[in-house]
Amino acid sequence: MEPLIADSRSGTYALWLTIAEPLIVTIGQRGELHLSPGCCVYVGSALGPGGLRARIAHHARIAARPHWHIDYLRRHAPLTEAWYSPDPIRREHHWAALLQTLGGVVPLPGFGSSDCRCPAHLFHFTIPPDWLDFGQALQIRYPDHASVHRLQRINRRA
């Protein structure tokens, strides 16, 4: 299988999932996640071996044994798009804060953020923010932030 992206550097990513109908998913011991139609975005970092390429490829597949909170949700919602930025600095918290200010609603407190102080790393949108506007807002807030790239039409279930 071809890699989704060739970039194996470290970085930050956002996974966009489509929620076509009302959905209730049990997220490990975190509890039940209730979602209405729209889309969800999950923000994470890929700082380990394989970097962005390995992490996005992992999330494009359905995990046989869920490891991260997002693995539970991926079983029920297709991944349609990914935004990513190669950067060795951990910036997922900046992305999460910005997505929340852009109207993202936290559907389950602590989702993806059990190791930090963010309210969550998963946000629900009825209408998602524009990718270019998001990238520009990051660079205004954090002038040293690398460019944000977009990977579209992933749509992998397994």
Query: Got the DSSP string for 18-61?
Result: EE-S-EEEEETTTEEEEE-SEEEEEEEEE-STTHHHHHHHHHHS
Paired tokens of 36: 């209405």
Residue 63 within any structural domain of the chain: yes
Residues whose CB is less than 8 angstroms from the CB of residue 108 and which lie 6 or more positions away in sequence, other chains included: 27, 30, 31, 32, 33, 34, 120, 122
How many structural domains are present in the chain?
A: 1
Neighbours of 25 (CB within 10 A): 17
Residue 6 within any structural domain of the chain: no
Give the bridge partners for 33, in sequence order: 25
pLDDT band at 29 (very low <50, low <70, confident <90, very high): confident
Residue 2 within any structural domain of the chain: no
Name the percent of the chain lying above pLDDT 90: 78
Residue 81 within any structural domain of the chain: yes
Encode pLDDT of 102-120 as tens digits. Answer: 999 999 999 988 888 899 9
pTM of the shown model? 0.92
What confidence score (pLDDT) does residue 1 get? 41
As a whole number, mean pLDDT of residues 58-70 equals 91
Residue 5 within any structural domain of the chain: no
156 residue type, one letter: R
Domain extent at residue 66 = 11-36+45-156
Residue 95 within any structural domain of the chain: yes
Q: CA-based Rg of the chain, rounded to a whole angstrom?
A: 14
Give the bridge partners for 82, in sequence order: 15, 151
Give the bridge partners for 18, in sequence order: 39
Residue 4 within any structural domain of the chain: no
C-alpha triplet 130, 27, 129: angle, nearest 5°: 5
